[in-house]
Amino acid sequence: MKKEYETITEISGPLVFAEVDEPVGYDEIVEIDTGDGDVRRGQVLESTSDYVAIQVFEGTQGIDRNSSVRFLDETMKMKLTEDLLGRVLSGSGDPIDGGPEIEPDERRNIVGKAINPYSREYPEEFIQTGVSGIDGMNTLVRGQKLPIFSASGLPHNDLALQIARQANVPEEEEGEDDEGSEFAVIFGAMGITQEEANEFMDDFERTGALERSVVFTNLADDPAVERTITPRLALTTAEYLAFDKGYHVLVILTDMTNYCEALREIGAAREEVPGRRGYPGYMYTDLAQLYERAGRIKGRDGSVTQIPILTMPGDDDTHPIPDLTGYITEGQIMMNRDLNSQGIEPPINVLPSLSRLMDDGIGEGLTRGDHADVKDQMFAAYAEGEDLRDLVNIVGREALSELDNKYLDFADRFESEFVEQGYNTDRSINETIELGWDLLSMLPPAELNRIDEEFIEEHYRGDEQEAEVTAD
Amino acid sequence: MSQATESDVREDGVIDSVSGPVVTATDLDARMNDVVYVGHEGLMGEVIEIEGDITTIQVYEETSDVSPDEPVEGTGSPLSVDLGPGMLDAIYDGVQRPLDVLEEKMGSPYLDRGVDAPGIDLEKTWEFTPTVEAGDEVGPTDIVGTVPETPSIEHKVMVPPDFEGGEVVATESGNFTPDETVVELANGEAITMHQEWPVRQQRPAEEKQTPTTPLISGQRVLDGLFPIAKGGTAAIPGPFGSGKTVTQHQLAKWADADIVIYVGCGERGNEMTEVIEDFPELEDPTTGNALMDRTCLIANTSNMPVAARESCVYTGITIAEYFRDMGYDVALMADSTSRWAEAMREISSRLEEMPGEEGYPAYLAARLSEFYERAGYFENINGLHSSISVIGAVSPPGGDFSEPVTQNTLRIVKTFWALDADLAERRHFPSINWNESYSLYRDQLDPWFVENVREDWPEKRQWGIDTLDEEAELQEIVQLVGKDALPEDQQLTLEVARYLREAWLQQNAFHPTDTYCEPEKTYRILDAIRTFNDEAFDALDAGIPVEELSDLDAVPRLNRIGVQEDYNEYIDELEADIESEIQELY
């Protein structure tokens, strides 16, 4: 243990500068004693032979020149044990559920190391979320990082909860005794309101999910700087449960926008040269260090699947936060305000949504052989219908051809029947694809140019087609 | 990364400050760009600034817990790569450490710090066959022997470019390790299979010439409309989700280069894993051997240290130049150069340099053009002709092409494949926008297409371009008044253009047959659409209404040509069917 210093020279925002006369490690943990028994924790951001810059997690209020600074000779660690399941922790990893202190089996550095790409296993195990807009069109697989791009006032929390409740891998339902594949949820809240946190906690308690969850909460009125460590604590726990204990872990991080705001605050306090919109130039690297901690590892049972939620300021997906996120994650699920105001639940706009790992996670033996074709055709048909809507506004429906009208009807029914399902309906992948065929059969078979002829023969609803013709 | 061996003795320094990947040291006697080992753990770093007694170092590994007063050890040599047999089939990190060796050495799936490994296995023996004999005169980069490196590629052992050369006094065939002498020269120079070369320095060549052969990619929209030359440069900018990586993967898989260097620069870990798992199973369409046999992967995922991201493109291009010297056509894909530029920006901002546009350093444009200039069709010093084609993905923030990395790249490259989010949304893949993209190689490559595919290739292509252009104009009117308000001939043009888009430009990368389309097939699909076009317009002139012409049973089969393996037969039959169906309408 190093000696204590009372050498604070400067306090500025979340940063404290102190003179030192012995070397201090970069990233080392610091305790600052304000003199009245209040101890704040912080981390070394810059270390030189004369002074160190410390970022204080719990706020700098009340710290003065006479406060003492103690260096703990180690970097930030997370206390890890399987008993964390069922616990509620603060944004700094301390229990706040009134339960006992954590008895760790192991303490691990929260700045995770990069997984060697050579040691990764490519994710291709389909997760059924029971949500058609995801399963059918933008399939999630184990080990993927698939964020929800939302905006203020949209029901992203309901969707996240629905996924957490319903997510399962279809074949495994029979083999419950398979011990290596238990499911766990890690919930990392950053700067969300008490009310939102209650919504999550109530749902976890109601469904009994809490006992297989670990909850980290940094609320809106908790110190902003603490938000920069909350996701790292959550992900360190996730990696431990997944790769050491064999759980399939689903990590929900909300709201990443608040995390990035905290990064910007620290950057500004350090007087760094800002990048776009004042966010630090290293935000891409920083976000990547979080998101890239999803995945599977060869020879290990578990997996880490991430669903980060972020609210796009001004619904703008070119804002640096969604933009950089989209470049790192393997796709995105886009929430849409128009669909929401139409009462579509969940209001997923499938067109700009994307799952990059989908193509290897679906198909014969995984979902269904016709899944990819049906998906492609529905994307194309819905996009066509969307385009035509603009035209209808100008020339009216009557001016359009019969075929165009069919596309318009398709787009309407796609939204009101396929995407719309409510937050409590759990659709199997089979139901989702069959529903897709119901809708596609509105179009003449010759229009289904993305689907293999064999599948059209097998699944195309011939009767409905005839009914359509006679109706005209 | 090569272990620095040839060091002239230099003095070691002491760490003064640590801030992320940037470390300063005092009392270090090092040259600019020298490799140094930082701290007790010996983290690899590179000197990037010298000011007074202070040396600034960018560290290629995570610096958590490193503190002032720890030692810094100089090596006296710049960042170099190991060149020799064993690079194909390998997968490296940004400073040429083999990832499989790292996994073994670290005993963990996570990347640890302070572990070094040479870029090629120095213990392994290779079968060397000399191509020179005692008494022959050899100069720099002359080939002195061969090693069967993989079933597809014969590795050529060369005199290093910085050797003087002279008369061969001794050589023999046999099995040697990379560091054993295989050829001795009269002036005492000993040639081994192992060379080192500093990554930031271009390997010399005799001269750069104008490329005239296309790099066939098997992608219809590229070969057909926007071809790149062997030795050319191309940029693929596009917002996220528009298919940059799939396009790069397709090129890495099917481009008809001898050697493919794939640099994953700050990209997704799972994507690199996909490449590692897929490539060994894929077959090279020209040789039938595993694709991995001609591929070298450099993987710096986005969560790996940022300084190593800065160096990974240099590592890649240096390896490419080495294979170029052997006379091979090399294609290098860099995905994504924006991450590389951002790494420069991050380091620059830690150095508190005065920022240029959008926080990027003022030397961004210079670095980009330096890099792309290392591509080209060369006459090498040893007289061989070979090429390096560079295809760089660009990830513009918010899909805005006016940002500095895209703009500076476009000023250099001659092929521009603009990816389009709208096309991607409607799952039109590859989502390359045919109105915005261009290739300045078209004219110089046309003679090749005329000679090797069909004589009327340029003419047919121009027809395709004109039709698509016309469609774009007509679409604007359709948006206002609807399709049915157009005159009949324009409606028919829209119909034809639709097939150009759906049957010709669209290509399914995940379909086993459609994923690769040879130039002949690219031509025939276009020609089949042209047949429909000509027949239909003749019929229209004869007074047959457009509704009937767009309602033919055979025509939608155009969309299925892509997935046909025996396409010639299929197209012959289809063309005949279209003709006869239209004849029936008269």
- pLDDT for B454 equals 94
Same domain assignment for residues B179 and B235: no
Q: Is B84 among the domain residues?
A: no
Of residues A23, A298, A446, nearest to B556 (C-beta): A446
Same domain assignment for residues B236 and B331: yes
- pLDDT for A2 equals 67
Q: Give the total number of structural domains in chain B.
A: 4
Stated pTM of the model:
0.89
Of residues B63, B273, B346, nearest to A281 (C-beta): B346
Of residues A116, A144, A354, nearest to B111 (C-beta): A116
Cβ of A390 within 8 Å of Cβ of B479? The answer is yes
Q: Is B285 among the domain residues?
A: yes
The residue of chain A nearest to residue B98, with distances taken between CA atoms, is A118
- pLDDT for A181 equals 63
AA identity, residue B110: Y
**pLDDT tens-digit profile of A13-54?**
889 999 998 889 998 999 999 888 888 999 998 999 899 999
**pLDDT tens-digit profile of A191-235?**
999 999 999 999 999 988 888 999 999 999 988 889 999 999 999
Of residues A118, A274, A404, nearest to B99 (C-beta): A118
A46 contacts in B (CB within 8 Å)? 17-19
**What domains can you pick out in chain A, each with its CATH number?**
3-74 (2.40.30.20), 78-361 (3.40.50.12240), 371-459 (no CATH)
A79 or A468, higher pLDDT: A79
> The domain spanning residue B147 has which CATH number?
2.40.50.100
> The domain spanning residue B353 has which CATH number?
3.40.50.300
Read off the pLDDT band of A453 (50, 70, 90). confident
A284 contacts in B (CB within 8 Å)? 266, 302, 339, 342
Cβ of A123 within 8 Å of Cβ of B18? The answer is no
> The domain spanning residue B481 has which CATH number?
1.10.1140.10
Cβ of A116 within 8 Å of Cβ of B482? The answer is no
Percent of chain A with pLDDT over 70: 95
Same domain assignment for residues B155 and B267: no
**Average pLDDT in chain A:** 89
- pLDDT for A233 equals 96
The residue of chain B nearest to residue A379, with distances taken between CA atoms, is B426
Q: Which of B193, B218, B250 is the last residue of a domain?
A: B193
Cβ of A281 within 8 Å of Cβ of B349? The answer is yes
- pLDDT for A177 equals 43
B532 or A461, higher pLDDT: B532
Look at residue A467 and tell me whether its pLDDT is greater than 70: no
**pLDDT tens-digit profile of B6-28?**
444 456 899 999 988 889 999 88
Q: Is B578 among the domain residues?
A: yes
Read off the pLDDT band of A317 (50, 70, 90). confident
Q: Is B552 among the domain residues?
A: yes
Which candidate, B163, B21, B185, B150, places its Cα nearest to that of B94? B21
Same domain assignment for residues B435 and B469: no
**DSSP strand pairing (B43-51 vs B54-59):** antiparallel
Work out the average pLDDT over A292-299. 94
From the CA of A383, how many Å to the nearest CA of chain B?
6
- pLDDT for B11 equals 64
Same domain assignment for residues B246 and B371: yes
Cβ of A297 within 8 Å of Cβ of B109? The answer is yes
- pLDDT for B10 equals 54
Cβ of B67 within 8 Å of Cβ of A394? The answer is no
Q: Is B523 among the domain residues?
A: yes
**pLDDT tens-digit profile of A366-413?**
899 999 999 999 999 999 999 889 888 888 888 888 899 999 999 999
SS3 B430: coil
Cα separation, A43 vs B64, whole angstroms: 11
Cβ of A273 within 8 Å of Cβ of B302? The answer is no
- pLDDT for A176 equals 44
A286 contacts in B (CB within 8 Å)? none
Say how many residues make up chain A.
472
From the CA of B212, how many Å to the nearest CA of chain A?
35
Same domain assignment for residues B311 and B280: yes
- pLDDT for B319 equals 96
The residue of chain A nearest to residue B394, with distances taken between CA atoms, is A327
From the CA of A73, how many Å to the nearest CA of chain B?
8
Q: Is B23 among the domain residues?
A: yes
Same domain assignment for residues B333 and B185: no
DSSP secondary structure letters along B491-533: HHHHHHHHHIIIIII---TTSTTTT---HHHHHHHHHHHHHHH
Same domain assignment for residues B474 and B543: yes
The residue of chain B nearest to residue A392, with distances taken between CA atoms, is B482
Of residues A26, A118, A351, nearest to B64 (C-beta): A26
CB pairs under 8 A between A and B: 226
B478 contacts in A (CB within 8 Å)? 391
Percent of chain A with pLDDT over 90: 61
Cβ of B67 within 8 Å of Cβ of A285? The answer is no
Which residues does B63 contact at the CB level (< 8 Å), separation at least 6?
A: A26, A27, B18, B20, B21, B23, B38, B39, B43
Q: Which of B167, B193, B219 is the last residue of a domain?
A: B193
The residue of chain B nearest to residue A273, with distances taken between CA atoms, is B349
Q: Quick one: CA dihedral B209, B211, B213, B215, positive or negative? A: positive
> The domain spanning residue B64 has which CATH number?
2.40.30.20
**pLDDT tens-digit profile of A240-290?**
999 999 999 999 999 899 999 999 998 888 888 787 888 988 888 899 999
**pLDDT tens-digit profile of A135-185?**
999 999 999 999 999 999 999 999 999 998 888 877 654 444 444 468 899
Same domain assignment for residues B73 and B136: no
B60 contacts in A (CB within 8 Å)? none
Residue-level pLDDT, tens digit, chain B, 586 residues: 544 444 444 568 999 999 888 899 998 888 888 999 999 999 989 998 999 899 999 898 888 889 999 999 988 889 999 999 999 988 999 889 999 999 999 888 998 888 888 999 999 999 999 999 999 999 999 999 999 999 889 999 999 999 999 999 999 899 999 999 999 999 999 999 999 999 999 999 999 999 999 999 999 999 999 999 999 999 999 888 788 888 888 998 899 999 999 999 988 888 888 888 888 888 877 778 888 889 999 998 888 888 888 899 999 999 999 999 999 999 999 988 999 998 898 888 878 888 888 888 999 999 999 999 999 999 999 999 999 999 999 988 878 889 999 999 999 999 999 999 889 888 889 999 999 999 999 999 999 999 999 999 999 999 999 999 999 999 999 888 878 889 999 999 999 999 999 999 999 988 889 999 999 999 999 999 999 999 999 999 999 999 899 888 899 999 999 999 999 999 999 999 999 999 999 8
User: Residue B46's domain spans which residues?
Assistant: 10-78
Cβ of B19 within 8 Å of Cβ of A45? The answer is yes
The residue of chain A nearest to residue B421, with distances taken between CA atoms, is A352
Q: Is B531 among the domain residues?
A: yes
Q: Which of B78, B99, B114 is the last residue of a domain?
A: B78
Instruction: Compute how many other C-beta atoms are within 10 angstroms of the C-beta atom of residue B513.
Output: 14
Q: Is B225 among the domain residues?
A: yes
The residue of chain B nearest to residue A395, with distances taken between CA atoms, is B481
Same domain assignment for residues B311 and B259: yes
Same domain assignment for residues B211 and B184: no
Same domain assignment for residues B476 and B567: yes
